[in-house]
Structure 1
Amino acid sequence: MISIEIKPYLLNKKHVFRIAGGARTNTPILLVKLKYESYSGYGEASMPPLYGETIETAQAFIRTLDRSKLTSPLEIVTIVKYLDQHAPGNTAVKAAIDIALHDLLGKIMNVPLHQYFNLPKKELKTSKTIGIDSAEIIEKRVEEAASYHYLKIKLGGNNDSEIIKAVRNVSDKPLFIDANQGWTNKEEALDKIAWLKEENVIFIEQPMPKKSFADMEWLVARSTLPLIGDEGIQRLEDVKTASNFYHGINIKLMKSTGLHEAFSMANLAKSLNLKIMLGCMSETSCAIAAAAHLGAMADWVDLDGNLGVTNDPYQGHQVINGCIHLNDTNGIGLIDPNWNKIETYV
C-alpha cells in the first residue's frame, strides 16, 4: 500500500505578480509525499486563486480518498483513473499525487522520468516571465533576465504599448506574449497581433476570453502569429477541438491532473499538428522538475515558476544561462529532498 503525507505551504514571490486578471505576492501550495516500501515520491499542488482550489479543498480531497485504491505505483493508470472519478475538478491536488506516483515509478525502475516516457534528454530553453507593471520596473525585470533566450511578457491591461516599449528599450530578445484573456474585441486583437509581429514576437497566448469561441474562430483564421490556448485548454478533451480556436496548446501539470494526462495531451496535439507549449504556475522545483521531463515534446518551454520565488523548499534541475539541464537523478529529479526540514507555512 501507498501512504500519504502532506504539508501546507505558502510559496512567496520575489516581486508582485500582475496579470490582466489581478495581482498577488504568494501562491498556496500543498506538498505531498508518497511512501511505498523503501521508496519516497514527491509531488505538489500549486493553487493560484484563479482556478478555485485551496489548501482546504486539497486536504479534503486527500482525506476522503479510499486508501485501499492506492495499491502500488505500478498500478498508476488505475490509480489516476480512480483519482479523477473520486471528485470533479481538484486538478492540482490530483496532479500532486500523480507527480509523486511518477517519482516513485522512476525510483523503482531506476531511471530518470524522461526515460520512463521514452523521451530523449534535452536542454530546454525556458522563457522568463515579466508581469504587468510600470515601465521602470519592467525595464529592470528585463535586464535581470538577460541570461534567458526568451522573455514571456504579460499583456492584456490598458498599457500594452507602454509595456512593449519598455521591453524594447532594454532588450531585443524574442518574446512570448500572454494576454491572459485580456483582449475582448476581436478586431482590436487582430490589430495588436499585426503590431506585435513587427516586435519580434513568437506567439500570442490566450488573447481572448476562453469562452469567446466565435471570436477565437474568427481570430485564429486571420492571425499572422500562432495563437496558443491556455485558460481555454485544460484537459485532454479540450485538445480534440483545440484547432478550431488555436494553433497550439499550453500544457500545465496543474491543469491536466499531472504527467499521465499531460503526456497524452502532448501526443494527441502532435497527431493534430498543434504546437505544444509546456507551462507552469508559480511552483516549487518539485513540479517544475517533473514537467521538464516532457520538455522534448514541446516546441516552447515556459518552466520558470520556481525561479521567481524566495522560499523554494527543494532543489531540482539546474538552470544555466536560461537553459534547464535535466539531471540524472531517478524519478522527477529532486536532489536530496529533506521532507522533515520543510516548515509548514499555512
Structure 2
Amino acid sequence: MSGFKIEWEIIPLRLKEVFTISRSSRSQVANVFLSITKDGITGYGEAGPNTRYNETPEMVVSDFESIPSGFFNDIYSLDEVESMISNLNPEPVQSAKTAIEMAWLDWWAKSQNKPLWELLGEKNSTTPVTSFTIGIDSPEKMQAKIRDAEQCPVYKIKLGTDHDREIIEAIREVTDKPLRVDANEGWSTLEKAQEEIQFLSTQNVELIEQPMPSSEFKLMKQLKEWSPLPLAADESFIGNEDLQKIAKAFHVVNIKLMKMGSIMKARRVLNQAHEHGLRVMVGCMIESSLANAAGALVALNAEYADLDGHLLISNDIFNGLELKGSGQLKLSDLPGLGVEK
C-alpha cells in the first residue's frame, strides 16, 4: 500500500489590525499548516500554537517530524483516529495533535466524496451567530473598528484594562447591538470583577468570558453565585478538567480545538458539558478558514460561536467558509472540511 506524502509549512497570518488583549499585543501569528496526500487526495490541517499554553511553531514542527512512516495508513476508522494521534507523543503539543487529526479527517471525508459534517451525522451545516472580536485599543479606535464591522450582529469586546468603563461607554455611543465581553483574566480581585460586571449588566452584555485568573477558582465560585450575567470559562478550561467542578464556577465553557487537541474529543466534551448543565461556546485562536471550518463543525451543536479568527487576518490562505448576513457561519457542501486552498 502506498504511503501518504506529508508536508508542512509555517505561515505568518497577518492581522488586519494590531490585536491587543489584557496580557499581550501582536500584529501576526505563525501557524503551521500540514498536508497529507494519497491517491491524488490532499487533506489539510492547521496548528495555531499559543504561548499562553507554552506552545511554539517549532514545537509543532517537531511533532510533525516525529510522525512515523506509514502512520496514516494504519488509521481505518473514526474510532481509531483520536486514540492513535494521542499516542504519537507522550508530551504532545495540543495544537499539533489538532492539525494531524484535522488533516486525516479532511482527507478521509474527501476520499468518501462527502462533506465531513454529513459523514459525522449532522443534519444542519449552520452555526449559531458568531461574535466579531474588537481588541483593546483607544476608545476612539475601538469605535472605528465597530463602524468597520457594522454588518456583524454581535461584538466580542476585549477588556481587562484600567479604563474598561470608558471603552464600553464609547462603544455604546456607536452601537446598541449585543456585546460579549472577554476580560482574559484581567480582573484580579473579586471586588474588581463584581464592580465591572455590575456595570456591564446594564449594557446589553450577553456574557462575560474569563473575568478572573484561572488560578482563582474559589473566587470564581463566589462570583458565579453572585453574578447577574453568565460567566464563561476559557483559560480555566483547557479540555481535561472536571466539568462538574467547572459548572460550580461558570455557566458556559469555551471549547477551542487548539486547546482540546482533537475535533472528535471536542464533540464529545461538548455533549458532556451539556449533561452537566453548561452551555457551550466554540472559540478559536487567530486561525485561517481551515481551522475555523473545523471549529464550526463542532459549533453546530453549541449555544455560542466565537469563530472569527479568519475574519481578523488579511492573508487567509483558504476559502469556502461562508459568513451569512445573519452572522452565522455555514459549512459548504464540498467534500472534507469544505474549504479550498
Bin of the TM-score, shorter chain as denominator length:
over 0.9
| 2:97 aligned partner | 94
1:331 paired to 2:331: no
Q: Which residue of 1 aligns with 2:131?
A: 127
Where does residue 45 of structure 2 map in the other structure?
43
Distance 1:9 1:263 in 2: 28
Of 234-243 and 169-178, more deviation after overlay is shown by 234-243
2:4, 2:36 within 8 Å by CA — same for their partners in 1? yes
Q: Which runs of 5+ in 1 are unaligned?
A: 338-346
Q: Is the 8 A contact 1:114 1:294 kept in 2?
A: no
**CA distances 1:208-233 after superposition (whole Å, capped 9, x unpaired):** 11111111111111111111101111
Match of 2:55 among 46, 53, 56: 53
Displacement, 1:115?
A: 1.6
Distance in 1 between residues matched to 2:4 and 2:243, nearest whole Å: 32
After TM superposition, the structure 1 stretch with the greater mean CA deviation from structure 2, 77-86 or 89-98, is 77-86
- CA RMSD between the two structures: 1.6
> Unaligned stretches of 5+ in structure 2?
none
Picking from 74, 80, 90, the partner of 1:78 is 80
Residue 316 of structure 1 aligns to a residue whose secondary structure is coil
Q: By how many angstroms is 1:240 displaced?
A: 4.5
- The equivalent residue for 2:233 is 229
- 1:9 counterpart letter in structure 2: I
**TM-score, length of structure 1 as denominator length:** 0.93
- In the alignment, structure 1 residue 239 sits paired with structure 2 residue 243: yes
2-side partners of 1:73 and 1:42: how far apart? 16
Contact 2:128–2:302 under 8 Å retained in 1: no
Partner of 1:117: 120
Tell me, yes or no, if the aligned pair for 1:193 and 1:223 is still in contact at 8 Å: yes
Q: Which residue matches 1:211?
A: 215
Are residues 238 and 68 of structure 1, via their aligned partners in 2, closer, same or farther at CA, if it must alter by over 3 Å?
farther
Aligned partner of 2:296 in structure 1 is 292
Displacement of 1:247 in angstroms is: 0.8
Aligned to 1:265: 269
In 1, the alpha carbon distance for the partners of 2:134 and 2:197 equals: 19
8 Å contact from structure 1 (residues 74, 105) kept in 2: no
Question: Percent identical across equivalent pairs?
Answer: 34
Per the TM alignment, residue 141 of structure 1 is displaced from its structure 2 partner at its CA by 0.3
Partner of 1:196: 200
**TM-score w.r.t. length of structure 2:** 0.94
Given that 1:278 and 1:295 are in contact with CA atoms closer than 8 Å, whether structure 2 keeps it comes out as yes
Give the secondary structure class of the aligned counterpart of 2:203.
Answer: coil
2:318, 2:339 within 8 Å by CA — same for their partners in 1?
A: yes
Matches of 1:167 and 1:211, distance apart in 2: 30
Task: Write the distance in 1 (CA, Å) between the matches of 2:159 and 2:111.
Answer: 44
CA contact (8 A) 1:130 1:152 kept: yes
Amino acid at match of 1:34: I
Q: CA deviation at 1:248?
A: 1.2
Preserved contact between residue 181 and residue 205 of structure 2 (Cα < 8 Å): yes
CA displacement at 1:39 relative to structure 2:
2.0
Of 91-100 and 188-197, more deviation after overlay is shown by: 188-197
Contact 1:236 1:261 in 2 (8 A): no
AA at the equivalent of 2:245: T
Number of the residue aligned with 1:6: 8
TM superposition shift of 1:48: 3.1
Q: Name which of 250, 257, 267 aligns with 1:253.
A: 257
SS at 1:147 equivalent: coil
Aligned-residue offset at 1:67: 2.9
Distance 2:78 2:69 in 1: 14
Shift of 1:179: 0.5
Q: CA deviation at 1:316?
A: 2.3
CA distance in 1, matches of 2:118, 2:78: 16
SS in 2 for 1:306: helix
Letter in structure 1 aligned against 2:47? A
Question: CA 1:72–1:112 in structure 2 vs 1: closer, same or farther (change >3 Å)?
Answer: farther
Q: Quick one: which amino acid aligns to residue 76 of structure 2?
A: L
Is the CA contact 2:63–2:92 (under 8 Å) kept in the aligned structure 1? Answer: no
8 Å Cα contact 2:19-2:25 kept in structure 1: yes
**How far 1:331 sits from its partner (Å)?**
1.0
> What is the number of equivalent residue pairs in this alignment?
336
Letter of the structure 2 residue corresponding to residue 143 of structure 1: R
Q: Is the 8 A contact 1:69 1:79 kept in 2?
A: no
